[in-house]
Amino acid sequence: MPVWDPGHYLQYADQRSRPFFELTARVGAEEPQTVVDLGCGPGQLTATLADRWSAARVTGIDSSAEMIEAARRYAGPRVEFRRQDVADFTPDQPVDVIISNAMLQWVDGHRALLPRLVDALAPGGWLAIQVPGNQTAPSHTLLHRLGQDPRFARWTGGIDRRIMPPAEEYLADLIALGLQTDAWETTYLHVLQGEDPVFDWISGTGARPYHQALPDGERDAFVTEYRKLLREAYPQRPFGTVLGFRRIFAVGQRPR
């Protein structure tokens, strides 16, 4: 797992938060008592769940010590955060709502975790997941290709691209697990500002494993070339630079 930088991750907080709100908008729970946010990151979105469900106790879980440290500023009487790997998530009691926004893609074989998450739901409980589906976009194919270059491959050649399946596969998974399920895909067109905004975006998430695997001297050469490739693939326009970003959603409810 990469080491996360909450400040860097929040650089594009408005754009990154849109999928979270569109995901949770499909959750029809009215008065849940327990809500869990798996992969809560820096916590600002987790706190909004307590605002939406005024009777709920909300728990944010993340494997990153840096993210949990940042998230604890949002802790309160009904909001708590703890560091835990999702593979070890075993709640003491059934949960009314489980949210996982942009986290499962970092877990090897993450679809094998879905039965455990469904089993953790209370009758009538909701599971809502979102994963990025942009692994075949230029931002990621260029990153992977550069990582395979002989100059860098000894450090980055074995990094998994983690290509996500289409929404239809998650739909089939959750229906097979007994959930009434809605699944969809959305491609956002983010208009970014700055000199190298796509690099700034990707280096806060998908590129971090590559950057952290490289020693300092090689990292500088890698970053210089990657910036150049991204500028060519995502040219700046008069109004900004357009980053197309596909995301995959699935929301299901367990029968009562």
**Higher per-residue pLDDT: 162 or 2:** 162
Residue 7's pLDDT is what?
A: 53
Q: What is the mean pLDDT of the chain?
A: 92
158 within some domain: yes
Number of domains making up the chain: 1
Per-residue model confidence as pLDDT tens digits over 35-81: 999 999 999 999 999 999 999 999 999 999 998 999 999 999 999 99
Handedness of CA 78, 83, 85, 91 (dihedral sign): negative
* pTM for the predicted model, two decimal places: 0.91
Per-residue model confidence as pLDDT tens digits over 100-135: 999 999 898 999 999 999 999 999 999 999 999 999
Summarize the confidence of residues 152-176 as an average pLDDT: 93
Residue 4's pLDDT is what?
A: 46
Q: Is the pLDDT of residue 9 over 70?
A: no
When pLDDT is cut at 50, 70 and 90, the band that residue 10 belongs to is low
User: What are the backbone dihedrals phi and psi of residue 128, each rounded to the nearest 5 degrees, phi first?
Assistant: -130, 125
Summarize the confidence of residues 196-203 as an average pLDDT: 91
**Higher per-residue pLDDT: 38 or 4:** 38
Residue 204's pLDDT is what?
A: 77
Does residue 54 sit in helix, strand or coil? coil
Summarize the confidence of residues 157-174 as an average pLDDT: 93
1 within some domain: no
User: How do beta strands 180-192 and 79-83 pair?
Assistant: unpaired
121 within some domain: yes
Could you tell me the CATH number of the domain that includes residue 22? 3.40.50.150
Residue 8's pLDDT is what?
A: 52
Question: CA-to-CA distance for 183 and 88, rounded, in angstroms?
Answer: 26
Q: Is the pLDDT of residue 185 over 90?
A: yes
Does residue 158 sit in helix, strand or coil? coil
Question: What residue has token string 């500088």?
Answer: 220
Tokens standing for residue 56: 């709920």
Q: Is the pLDDT of residue 146 over 90?
A: yes
79 within some domain: yes
Closest by CA to 252, choosing from 117, 62, 132, is 117
Angle at CA of residue 43, ends 42 and 44, nearest 5°: 105
220: containing domain: 6-253
**Higher per-residue pLDDT: 180 or 202:** 180
> With 0-12 CB in 10 A as exposed, 13-18 as middle and 19+ as buried, what is 138?
middle
Per-residue model confidence as pLDDT tens digits over 213-238: 999 889 999 999 999 999 999 999 99
Question: CA-to-CA distance for 230 and 234, rounded, in angstroms?
Answer: 6
